[in-house]
Structure 1
């Protein structure tokens, strides 16, 4: 079986505390067709020296100021030449060395446009605090507050070429809007890989305090309206309630 080429994009800014384990988890992947792109926002801590230790494994590297996470990801998308594209944030890491191998096999054998799986949330000590088990997708699931975890989301490059990159109009909901656009609106074919793909460190730009959470809800609502989600106000309530079981599993 010919290995499908996968582009992994990591964006970072002053990520010296976590970037090394992120990069190491990419380096340790068993998938032979791997392109690794790192986009740094002009870090002023020790992020750059750590990245330089692994330059032989990094296909493309940019370090310059940018307009935030999604603008940086879009820079990576412009550089990506893989058949499939995935995002691994600087404070996240692959859960095992065969993740990309399984992702690539899924695209080849299932003839799908999108592959997604499960993630674990971990604290700074690596202890699992929350488990996101996605389950299989059926069209219309976004109307019931469902969404796949973005760190486990892999899509064919042609989807970005045809339907566009991350939008700067939805703040921290840009990843939710993109998945809505690809899966719900354009009905791309999807395959659920039932395994933990990424360990994601707790925290994030859309959480942290009530003001940020309210802004995230507003951006979610606008994304729902844009893509024709039924009863968006109700879905806005259901969507966070679905997360409760992640703490109980």
Structure 2
């Protein structure tokens, strides 16, 4: 069974090679690897070319942002399962094998996902378990770990990433799947991805977060009372987090 792994990158010379190696060194070998570059001006293209013979497809052209690049990758994919691995992150060696095994043993789900290792700015590694609360997912935000998701090609034919959003489009795609059927998700209880914090979403203002959170929930059909409740919770969590930092 073919699995497609996609990396989108823009000026990612610092960590891209580690990402590529983690894909190429997977124990599951029936994969295609696609890299979508947004027209990098650093050493990104040089790094890609060093591994060109082992990369199925790569393109380098301007895009309209992260989610446009992800959609381009999905358009090029031939796999039955499709996964995104960011250019700052890397897989555990058995990641793909574990997810394929879950898919074969538990067919019929749309999204297969797992736990994740969080890597802070000092390199400290912390295991973050998946929070199973559907209430928190619906009202607090993305409790699923998007970098761990292996999504069926069939699901991607129903939903793509909304390019009008800059940080919450993955949340919208997963919410759309959830509202169609909350039983579309299969959880694999192991960490498969090492995720470096400090990307685009970490640098986004609270105003932008609230704005996109509102748009996502409106787009998926939540009523205004539900939306207001969710925004209140999100803002409360942000304020509490900031108070902890200041103290």
Where structure 1 has 5 or more consecutive residues not aligned to the other structure, the ranges are 245-249
1:207 counterpart = 2:234: no
Superposed CA deviations along residues 9-59 of structure 1, whole A, max 9, x for unmatched, are 100011000100010110111112211000011111111111111112210
From 18, 22, 38, give the equivalent of 2:19. 22
- Which of 85, 88, 91 in structure 1 is aligned with 2:88? 91
| Cα distance, 1:141–1:101 mapped onto 2, change above 3 Å | same
- Alignment of 1:46 with 2:39, yes or no, is no
Q: Partner residue of 1:115?
A: 112
Displacement after TM superposition at 1:124 (Å): 4.7
Q: 71, 93, 98: which is aligned to 1:74? A: 71
Shift of 1:205: 1.1
How far, CA to CA, are the matches of 2:97 and 2:200 in structure 1? 30
Q: CA deviation at 1:137?
A: 6.4
User: Partner residue of 1:180?
Assistant: 175
Q: Distance in 1 between matches of 2:93 and 2:207?
A: 37
Rounded to whole Å, the distance in 2 between the matches of 1:81 and 1:117 is 23
Contact 1:13 1:40 in 2 (8 A): yes
Farther off after superposition, 117-126 or 232-241: 232-241
Other structure's SS at 1:207 match: helix
Map of 1:247 onto structure 2: none
TM-score normalised by L of structure 1: 0.86
Q: Does 1:5 align with 2:2?
A: yes
Residues 146-161 of structure 1 mapped to structure 2, 5 A cutoff: 147-161=143-157
Structure 2: tracts of 5 or more residues without a match = 242-247
Cα contact 2:64–2:163 (8 A) shared by 1: no
From the superposition, tell whether residues 141 and 124 of structure 1 become closer, same or farther in structure 2 (CA, over 3 Å).
closer
Contact 2:84 2:147 in 1 (8 A): yes
CA contact (8 A) 1:207 1:213 kept: no
